[in-house]
Structure 1
């Protein structure tokens, strides 16, 4: 809730003078104005308290304009119009009057009502005081005693003109066109590559995106950062831009860079050199927020999935809890959900029908029906119960089931030497499940798989993976070129090299792998770690203990979670394992 200089009783006067200054200076953000307290400052600085209140909107980087609804209030000087603007854009404004209808309240009473009825977890009385100050300026509320506030007759009349919590839905069919352009080929390729497995292993946390002091929204901020990296940039230059444009500190730039790379917006092409990915370049050309939303859907959990979920949950806190219950997020992330909602709203896929309450648009319904979405957990589990379980194993939670499926594919692909890319692609899925940023490279002169993970210092660690299948179940020395692995490591500036296969001869291959700092991981070992992760999820950096090949690192990883049970690991070996287990049970 904004609070303008000049004192509580002068809030409306200060607001009017500030909006008139916008008009007088054609919205130039660098123009000098005098605020309500008599201090000279830039127009942009003076407008910061109003950044999300519905009175001004940006037209370009250096200019703003008064919104139509604010212009109508300026012309009418009607308190009802002013209250309607606040009520439409700021939560718990008109609702304060509704609470006061039940009798006089103290500021603490109003703060507790905000928490229990509207999920506003304030820790001080400041926000409640600010709302009462504005309502007092409108004559809608007044102090009955030194500590108790009550609604006035004027306030009751103003409240009668508001819709609390918004209508059940807003009719959008008549005015919303359904025509939309197909996404650019680079983004369409990402969408075409989605599978139920890749959807389930997307990132859950969006990460840090700087937005200055509220001058930029999430779409504008991402566009500015990606554009700054085009056609290419050094890490130092990108950091300087972020500091200049968004006042990002040196400590905050690392998380910013991680978000940009993790989101698929930029990629490293040389030492400390970055450039936009093909998909990001395509988005820069269209400048369409819908293309941004589609890109984010390919990288993060619970993006387009929000659209059908709005039929049951229309507020960020409820959606955050639903994301945990139905889509596998580890904790309710209200801030992350709000960022997703901002992107979907900018793309025209949802609309805010009331204060922080959303519904899908016809375009949103269409997009959600055209592209592959992750199935909610209750649908996955109910569909699993409708199908006979041919393995004889009990029904399991979806994460364990997914680990089981990838593990089976790993073990089978390890001996499928007629189809070597099968093991490469399954290895990508396995590392993605463990939380690595992983992609299939393949082809002549290139590594099979490139995986990246942040260590405990939030620095990226690169791993190249060579996947070798062997019909015999054991990879011998002749199948591996350690010189080529060293070349791949140099080419990709990798920190670690991993060789994955169904098993490895006990002779020279193990000795040469140790001499060349190459970690050997069998498909059964990797599958066992998938089962461990499904039962006891860990942060991805812990699985560097699997990569380094050091016994101490491996022991630390194993100490972080219990080993997978016999029931979870039996499927890693073969059908013979299952038969042996059943034979043991019958004795």
Structure 2
């Protein structure tokens, strides 16, 4: 060990963060234990040189470039990198700069220990030696970290091996080295008996809310709970109780707009435009109110929360103004991933459309206030959270069809009820498919279960699916419709692993190439629970796309809310495609939905506000709508987004908005607009199932879960393969032949060998 690698005793180790605020995931850097620290230094040096977030970066010896954003994302929250400014740039923390200059490996591990759960604790737990499985059991049973696979334990062991703190023996034991034992003496370790997952069985005593807030909570009704805003909105300093309290306190007794901007810039280092967004958010959250031409003050409810100095009172107040905040806490009675919580909320409250980002921000607030806790990759409420949720007024759940107190805009017995029930059933079916994909990925005793789950997932994504399976055969072939003469074929290999990690011993890449050629496919996709670094590197060299079961499940849930076309889905299953481009496409589609909802509800609110009706007859211009909605989203809508939403809402099919000169007025309640869209969807789907005139029904679009379709006897969620000649028509064969470069006549009988080849490729007969 050279002198540059020795710890500087004068520097001291970073103080560990509170357990609940530490990250659950350890950083991932490609390479073996002898390589990962030098690879980490390489990416840190690149950030120090140029922090442009989307420029290309190549790991040493990797050969392929990725974006710096992706490389840093794999590091997680470990205290090394900061994101600053707009557009976002990366920079090193002081601790990262010290490590880069000194090469102090012990300081690096101590920094990880300070920011990540079960780092120093893993080293201490080894005793005289444990296997990865045994160490994973300690993480679950003693520290409440119930991981789906051994990946997180392996990551920690890799870093400990890289720093020379443990040895890995040929019998599979991880054993502390002498250096590791000395290092332990300098660490501050958490006491597992004091961790939140050790439930005492006693119900915590809640502080009583201030009288004014208690009266407000007692008086809230279902209409008020339904009218809460969906988005938390942007807040300088983050949506944290501490930041909210500082901002509210600045407005006591009152504050001018210019002074508020200056306060936000000075306290949180944000731009004036961000301070203006913060002002709009605080008003929409019921924390600030306008008291003069350009003057604002804390509301009485917000001042009562300040006076009580209880974080829970801010949560109670936010619950009155933020949709499904307390309801999210209610849904966390059991451990759940973010995607699972999103699905549960959608099933319980189908009229409130939250995005994954919305749910993530609610979870962050619940974690910060100790109402919820992270257990590995999942979240559950604490005893304190359970006590609080029992005192909050909650929105009634929808159990089937329409709720008993449904929106009055949809009359009982109207045609809207049936489409909504179908939509709800579809949501539940998509959620079941997503859950099965994740669970089947680690069921190595039944590998065909995972193959069926993967096939069902791609069917839910709206692409054509062929099941094959069997020895030396590919598992699934999917076909993505690009245009009438262009379909992209992808062979899909589904790999299970009981420990949750697919290694290079599990994959024969040369055989994947054979499968691709046999099925005349353009690309190959490998699906598994997780992949080790060698599989990732080999897949990049062989142009094989990788997707984890969790990513595929999340895509199914997201697609159920915001469907993408097969052409857009192609980015997810094709090697070399930028995954970020798919994420941008999805975010853009979700934002159009948000814009549509915000614009319509804003016009509806104005059309039912006595003051607005008196002075403007409920008519709003684009600038009026922008002003009313700017606090609802982190990035306010621009005029073109508002105009696009108004144009769509004004079409005869929706007839929800009418233009009056340069302004607009609402002509139908949001619930009726939604009912018309659901009814339109039902008509399109029912027509599509029968197929267009002159075409056999088998040629209709793929049937997503939730609609009637032939089902496999082995697994009802997976469609059966088509009968020998079902869906085989001259028009399809001609389109396929042209896409493959075969000469074919537009009319007349098709050659038998061409028909035979088409059937073989498509899995018919």
Q: TM-score, normalised by structure 1?
A: 0.47
Larger RCO (CA within 8 A; separation ≥ 6):
2
Q: TM-score, normalised by structure 2?
A: 0.37
